[in-house]
Amino acid sequence: MVNKRSYERGFGGYMRIKRSISYRDNGTIRCEWWHKEGDEYYYHKEDGPAYTWYYDTGEKKHEEWWVADKLHKLDGPACINYNKDGTIDKEWYCINGEELSKEQWEDYIIKEAMKEALE
């Protein structure tokens, strides 16, 4: 496994975020994840998926968006499973670690947008 470091602004200041990559024996990437430095299981990335798995052919297999160790994404599904041809197999919507139906997620986004417009 090869590790590279990167840093990202976190809650209340700068959080040290580390990128880790796991390779298969044939040299292709198995998965990559972004996590709080010193804790490989505290997932966090604010500008893209924090965890990505790949098929042995290199195409994306699964992506997860995590913020502060909670599945979270406001502009689409927080988890996506892909077929080998790149089409989407399944999607999950989550806000602050809570799984929502697509309709519940859309309602939340609309309500938040209305609150911001009224402020």
- 18-29 pLDDT, tens digit per residue, is 888 999 998 899
Band the pLDDT of 9: cuts 50, 70, 90. Answer: very low
pLDDT at residue 41 tops 90: no
Residues 6+ positions from 80 with CB-CB distance below 8 Å: 62, 63, 88, 90, 91, 92
What is the helix (H) or strand (E) element at residue 17, kind and residue range?
A: strand 13-23
Distance CA 77, CA 89 (A): 12
* 50: nearest Cα among 61, 58, 42: 42
Please tell me the predicted confidence (pLDDT) of residue 12: 44
Say what the pTM is: 0.80
Distance CA 47, CA 35 (A): 13
